């Protein structure tokens, strides 16, 4: 009987532990749902408090750290966001969204080398993500690695040819390398895809002027001015007669 009683007690103990874990998991799920609701309502500080309550129940929950990171990102507290995304990654090294959003923070803090590394990790997990190639290309451009930027921009276009902003940044990268002919080609592609951006016309105008096409340049400076570019008027007065 003692053996049976002992086994019975042990079974009850195990049942209690399992039940407790399930309750903790349920509490964490409730915290996630409530926190996400608050975040959607832009009550980010309240959402953080709720997510932190969830961490007390499940301290190794990578999602909760991720959600807290998102809330701090929305509050423009980039260092705290980075800290929480990093903890999420420690708990789940394949958490692509955490790498992606941490890279977003690094862009804001101008740590382009770290953002570049995070985007590289994202691409290792999701190599068909066109926009991530574009974002990593922007990091390479900021680091003055123009050839790497061009490579990433072209990879982005391979997956999605309609990205006008990628055509524009390709133009900028080629311009920075002194290849004005290719820069002009990509500015023209960008404008064909979207003709509402003043800086597209402005940069094409600068390129046209450098290539010896002053009339085309002046026409584009005028286009840029009409779209609200603040510098175009000065160039028109100086270069266009």
Please give the pLDDT value at position 8. 32
Mean pLDDT confidence for 218-229: 97
Mean pLDDT confidence for 172-184: 98
Question: Which burial class, exposed, middle or buried, applies to 60 when counting CB atoms under 10 A from its CB (0-12, 13-18, 19+)?
Answer: exposed
Residue boundaries of the structural domains of the chain:
9-93
Q: Is residue 35's pLDDT more than 70?
A: yes
Structure tokens at 3: 């053996």
Please give the pLDDT value at position 32. 85
Structure tokens at 215: 């009339």
- Confidence band, pLDDT 50/70/90 cuts, at residue 20: very low
Mean pLDDT confidence for 42-71: 95
Q: Is residue 14's pLDDT more than 50?
A: no
In the chain, pLDDT over 70 holds for what percent of residues?
88
Mean pLDDT confidence for 119-147: 96
Mean pLDDT confidence for 56-71: 95
Please give the pLDDT value at position 26. 56
Please give the pLDDT value at position 223. 97
Please give the pLDDT value at position 10. 36
Q: Is residue 13's pLDDT more than 50?
A: no
CATH code for residues 9-93: 1.25.40.10
Question: Which burial class, exposed, middle or buried, applies to 148 when counting CB atoms under 10 A from its CB (0-12, 13-18, 19+)?
Answer: middle
Q: Where are the alpha helices (DSSP H) in the chain?
A: 2-40, 44-57, 62-74, 78-91, 96-108, 112-125, 130-142, 146-159, 164-176, 180-193, 198-210, 214-226, 232-239
Q: How far is CA 159 from CA 14, 26, 99, 163, in A?
A: 52, 41, 21, 10
Q: Is residue 9's pLDDT more than 70?
A: no
Q: Is residue 184's pLDDT more than 90?
A: yes
Mean pLDDT confidence for 148-171: 95
Q: What is the pLDDT of residues 80-126, one digit of tens each?
A: 999 999 999 999 999 999 999 999 999 999 999 999 999 999 999 99
What predicted TM-score, i.e. pTM, was given to this entire model?
Answer: 0.83
């Amino acid at each position: 009987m003692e053996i049976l009683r002992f086994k019975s007690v042990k079974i009850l103990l195990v049942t209690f532990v399992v039940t407790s874990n399930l309750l903790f998991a349920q509490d964490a799920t409730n915290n996630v749902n409530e926190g996400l609701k608050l975040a959607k309502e832009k009550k980010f500080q309240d959402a953080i408090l709720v997510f932190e309550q969830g961490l007390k129940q499940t301290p190794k929950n990578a999602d909760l750290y991720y959600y807290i990171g998102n809330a701090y990102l929305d509050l423009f507290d980039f260092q705290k966001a980075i800290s929480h995304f990093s903890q999420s990654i420690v708990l789940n090294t394949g958490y692509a969204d955490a790498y992606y959003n941490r890279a977003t923070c690094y862009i804001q803090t101008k740590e382009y080398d770290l953002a570049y590394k995070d985007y590289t990790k994202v691409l290792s997990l999701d190599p068909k993500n066109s926009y991530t190639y574009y974002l990593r290309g922007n990091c390479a451009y900021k680091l003055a690695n123009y050839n790497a930027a061009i490579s990433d921009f072209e990879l982005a276009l391979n997956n999605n040819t309609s990205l006008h902003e990628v055509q524009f940044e390709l133009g900028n990268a080629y311009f920075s390398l002194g290849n004005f002919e290719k820069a002009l080609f990509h500015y023209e592609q960008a404008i064909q895809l979207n003709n509402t951006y003043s800086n597209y016309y402005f940069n094409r105008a600068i390129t046209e002027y450098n290539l010896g096409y002053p009339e085309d340049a002046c026409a584009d400076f005028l286009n840029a001015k009409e779209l609200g570019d603040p510098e175009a008027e000065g160039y028109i007065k100086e270069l266009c007669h």
